[in-house]
């Protein structure tokens, strides 16, 4: 089912997230997995750029590795790694294909398989059904959630990292490439948490200052009992409002939890914050979704 019904649209407006079952076929998911396997097999990441990805605020600001590798990844296809997969010289302690946390942030622009998914007629129809007039794609990521050490993602709002003025112009599209279960780290949401604004922002600091990024505000301590688990099957799509609070637990199971996710922004009447870590570039202005 490519487009939500009126009752589903109302539920999305109330909750800030919505599951659309069976959005992609098994074959479409398999094509993404095959392509990712090729990218990982070919990856050649210099030791100085081997960044361990973290959602913990203090760890984000003192990321091991070359911060520029992350900050300049908005218009490239780059690899980010789980914690604890390198020795102190940057050599792999586990097989490289088991070490990747995510690949980002421009798969949608440069990889033909992910471009075809992102700009598919189904996705365009979905955006139109949600009222998008001039949507652009701001970033994309393939997330692995590796077995046994796929790290937790702490509670957050996507608009902390991708801020718009006004708020409410950002939408996450999250597609399960494999089943996401309670055991392997499915998404959890606080329904209705998208209506209270943004409590924290990650911003680029003025040129030449250190660190290169900093947080404004602080993340509240969210009541754990408010989170609702959202397990989904392979091919299901989750709509994620830019301000809804969500998280995922560490993957302690034997099964990975692959997902492809990208963010859309309504560009009409919207200002993309010049302080955001991710900025459009001359090489890659944010591409329009509607082709």
For residues 229-254, average pLDDT = 97
User: Contact 116/143 with Cβ under 8 angstroms?
Assistant: no
Checking 58-67 for CB contacts under 8 A at 24+ apart, the result is 60/202, 60/213, 61/211, 61/213, 61/214, 61/215, 62/211, 65/90, 67/211, 67/212, 67/213
User: Contact 202/213 with Cβ under 8 angstroms?
Assistant: yes
76 pLDDT higher than 90: yes
Tokens read off for 9: 């649209």
Sorted by sequence, the CB contacts under 8 Å of residue 4 that are 6+ apart come out as 12, 18, 20, 126, 129, 130, 239
The DSSP letter of residue 56 is S
Other beta carbons less than 10 A from residue 42's beta carbon: 7
Ordered by where they begin, the domains of the chain are 6-272 (2.60.120.620)
Phi, psi of 137 (to 5 degrees): -95, 125
User: Contact 109/283 with Cβ under 8 angstroms?
Assistant: no
For residues 142-170, average pLDDT = 96
pLDDT value, residue 64: 45
Pick the closest to residue 137 from 259, 265, 237 (CA basis).
265
Render pLDDT for 280-290 as a digit per residue (tens, 0 to 9). 999 999 999 99
User: Contact 138/263 with Cβ under 8 angstroms?
Assistant: yes
Q: Quote the pTM value.
A: 0.95
63 pLDDT higher than 70: no
For residues 104-125, average pLDDT = 98
Q: Which residue has the tokens 């050599």?
A: 91
β-pairing, 77-81 vs 170-176, is unpaired
Q: How far apart are CA 167 and CA 272, in angstroms?
A: 10
pLDDT value, residue 2: 74
pLDDT-wise least confident of 24-38, 59-73, 117-131, 237-251:
59-73
> Percentage of the chain surpassing pLDDT 90?
84
Q: How far apart are CA 81 and CA 73, in angstroms?
A: 14
61 pLDDT higher than 70: no
């Amino acid at each position: 089912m490519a487009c939500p019904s009126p009752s589903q649209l109302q539920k999305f407006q109330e909750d800030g997230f919505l599951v659309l079952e069976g959005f992609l076929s098994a074959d479409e998911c398999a094509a993404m997995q095959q392509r990712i396997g090729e990218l990982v097999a070919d990856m050649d990441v210099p030791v100085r750029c081997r960044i361990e990805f973290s959602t913990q605020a203090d760890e984000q600001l003192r990321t091991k590795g070359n911060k520029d590798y992350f900050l300049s990844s908005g218009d490239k296809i780059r690899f980010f790694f789980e914690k604890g997969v390198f020795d102190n010289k940057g050599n792999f302690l586990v097989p490289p294909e088991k070490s990747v946390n995510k690949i980002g942030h421009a798969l949608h622009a440069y990889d033909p398989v992910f471009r075809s998914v992102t700009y598919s007629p189904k996705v365009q129809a979905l955006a139109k059904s949600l009222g998008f007039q001039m949507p652009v794609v701001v970033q994309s990521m393939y997330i692995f959630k590796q077995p046994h050490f796929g790290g937790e993602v702490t509670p957050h709002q996507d608009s902390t990292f991708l801020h718009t003025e006004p708020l409410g112009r950002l939408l996450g599209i999250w597609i399960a490439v494999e089943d996401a279960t309670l055991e392997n780290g499915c998404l959890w949401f606080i329904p209705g948490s998208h209506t209270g604004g943004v409590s924290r922002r990650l911003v680029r600091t003025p040129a030449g200052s250190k660190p290169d990024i900093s947080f404004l505000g602080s993340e509240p301590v969210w009541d754990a009992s408010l989170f609702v688990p959202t397990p989904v099957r392979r091919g299901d799509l989750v709509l994620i409002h830019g301000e809804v609070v969500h998280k995922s637990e560490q993957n302690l199971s034997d099964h990975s939890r692959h997902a492809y996710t990208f963010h859309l922004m309504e560009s009409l009447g919207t200002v993309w914050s010049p302080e955001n870590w991710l900025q459009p570039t001359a090489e890659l202005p944010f591409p329009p979704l509607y082709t």
